[in-house]
Amino acid sequence: MPGRTKKDREKLLNNFALDLAERCQSEFTQAMEIYGGDFVKVKNKISFTVDAIPACYTGNHELCRRHSFVCKGGKKFWLYNRAFLPNSFKIRKLDENLNAIRKSEDSSNRTVNVRLNAIMWNSVFREHQRLHPNCNGFLQWNMEREEKFGFVNREEAMCDKCTYRSRKFKLYEEVQTKKPGRKAAKINVSAQAALSQTPLGYTGLRKIVLGCNMPAPSTSGLQKRANKVLPEIVNIDKKDMKARRKQLIAINTLRGRKDPGSVSLQADGAYNNAIYSGIGKTPFQPATQVVYSVAEAETEDKKAL
Ligand SMILES: [Zn+2]
Ligand SMILES: [Zn+2]
């Protein structure tokens, strides 16, 4: 849509809508007149006119000449002396618009696995060469057919000169499980694990990712994955702490203690409510939740148990 400023474009868009409504109306009225009100004939004819109208606004009147009742190109040209639109009005062709969209995707970024990316392009180049030996087209991702899963994506390659389309390639490594169905991407799982170690929330993460001009995972997707990953992290932590306790007993045994299972500890509690929030309500520590962590005081590491 042409127009210098945003306001110009909005106004033009409104006028275009008005003009289009009028165009359809007058095509119909003309057709009814020509076919003497024979609705079946008019319906049949109008179905061709429908294709002519969008082409007409892009400045191509080839279809108008055959199928339009109000535009024949040249002198009897629809946009000539229109109330809302200038004679020079033109919309960009659909494929030009698509190219503009494609260009904006072209400058965005993706996470790809280095090895899988190499595999994709080697097989794409070979297949393209084999199927279209004389084509010197430019191969790139077909962004309209891209599939995104959180941080990762599946891509298909296409040629800008011939009809070549590759199969879709996974550009990420998967977590190996025995469960049926689509397997989780390693990076989506490890991002969750990393997220659990930082004070960053989903909104913060999305901001960073979008700031890098990358498609960001959806909040709901992140939550879904977190529900799977976080219980795993709890399990790993529990196992880890169990191993630490065993190790501590082993150390005490080596030290020749009579009772290696009894260890000296240091501990402290942390409350979820701020201490001043209880002023005037309770003389004690105000809290609805408490975390009480215990660390050993036997070795220099002071490991949490
Ligand atoms: Zn036309
Ligand atoms: Zn090609």
Confidence (pLDDT) at 159 = 93
Tell whether 304 is covered by a domain.
no
pLDDT value at residue 1: 60
pLDDT at 130: 96
Residues across the chain: 305
For residue 268, what are its two tokens?
């402290």
Domain check: are 265 and 289 in the same one? Answer: yes
What's the CA-to-centroid distance between 33 and ligand 1, angstroms? 20
Whether 86 is covered by a domain: the verdict is yes
- Residue 46 CB neighbour total at 10 angstroms: 16
Is residue 271 within 8 A of residue 284, CB to CB? The reply is: no
Task: Please give the pLDDT value at position 269.
Answer: 84
> What angle (nearest 5°) sits at the alpha carbon of residue 52, between those of residues 48 and 54?
130
Would 301 be classed as within a structural domain? Answer: no
Domain assignment present for 303: no
Per the structure, the complete domain to which residue 227 belongs is given by: 174-243
Phi, psi of 155 (to 5 degrees): -130, 150
Question: What single string gives the DSSP state of each residue in 28-76?
Answer: HHHHHHHTTT-HHHHHHHHHHHHHHHHHHHTT--HHHHHH-SS--BTTB
Instruction: Please check whether residue 59 lies inside any domain of the structure.
Output: yes
62: CA distance to ligand 1 center in Å? Answer: 7
Rounded to two decimals, the pTM is 0.51
Question: pLDDT tier at 286 (50, 70, 90 boundaries)?
Answer: confident
Q: Which helix (H) or strand (E) holds 210?
A: helix 202-211
Q: Domain for residue 187, yes or no?
A: yes
Residues 251 and 231 occupy one common structural domain: no
Q: Which ligand is nearest to the CA of 133?
A: 2
Clarify whether residues 261 and 193 are in a common domain.
no
pLDDT of residue 3: 64
61: in domain: yes
**236 and 269: one domain?**
no
Ligand positioned closest to the Cα atom of 131: 2
If asked whether residues 76 and 114 sit together in one domain, one would say no
Among residues 172, 196, 219, which one ends one of the domains? 172
Clarify whether residues 21 and 79 are in a common domain: yes
Residue 304: pLDDT band (50, 70, 90) is confident
Distance 15 CA to ligand 1 centre (A): 17
State the average pLDDT over residues 4-23. 85
Domain boundary among 139, 172, 205: 172
Q: Same domain for 137 and 195?
A: no
pLDDT reading at 282 higher than 90: no
Residue 274 scores a pLDDT above 90: no
Structural domain total, the chain: 4
Distance 120 CA to ligand 2 centre (A): 16
Domain boundary, last residue among 172, 198, 225: 172
Taking 80 as the threshold, does the pLDDT of residue 100 lie above it?
Answer: no
The pLDDT tens digits for 103-125 are 677 788 999 999 999 999 999 99
Between 154 and 288, where is the model more confident? 154
For the cut 70, the answer to whether the pLDDT of residue 196 exceeds it is yes
Distance 157 CA to ligand 2 centre (A): 10
In this structure, is residue 211 part of a structural domain? Answer: yes
How many angstroms separate the alpha carbon of residue 240 from the centre of ligand 2?
A: 55
Q: What separation in Å is there between the alpha carbon of 127 and the centre of ligand 2? A: 10
Percent pLDDT > 70 in the chain is 95
pLDDT at 283: 79
Ligand 1 centroid to residue 39 C-alpha, Å = 23
